[in-house]
Structure 1
Amino acid sequence: MSNEDRLILVGQIGGAFGVKGEVRISAYTADPMALVGYSPLLGADGKPALTLISARPDKAGVVARVKEIATKEEADARRGQKLFVTRDALPEPEEDEFYLTDLVGLEGRDPADVVLGKVKSVQNFGADDMLEIAPAEGGPTWYLPFTRETAPELHINEGWLRIVRPTEVSDRDED
Structure 2
Amino acid sequence: YIIATGNSYSASELVTHCLKSYMNVVHIGSNTGGKYTASWTIHAYDKELGATVYDTNDLKTDEKTKLKKWAMQPIVAMYANKDSKSFNIPGYLSPDYNLEEGFGYIDRWTQLGDTKDVFLGQALYLISGNVSYLPVEPSSTRSIQTIRKEIVNRHDEAKPVIIDNIKLTADDFQKLILLRK
- Relative contact order: is structure 1 or structure 2 higher (C-alpha 8 Å, sep ≥ 6)? 2
* TM bucket normalised to smaller: under 0.3
TM-score (norm 2): 0.24
Q: Which one has the bigger strand percentage?
A: 1
Larger Rg: 2
TM-score, normalization by structure 1: 0.24
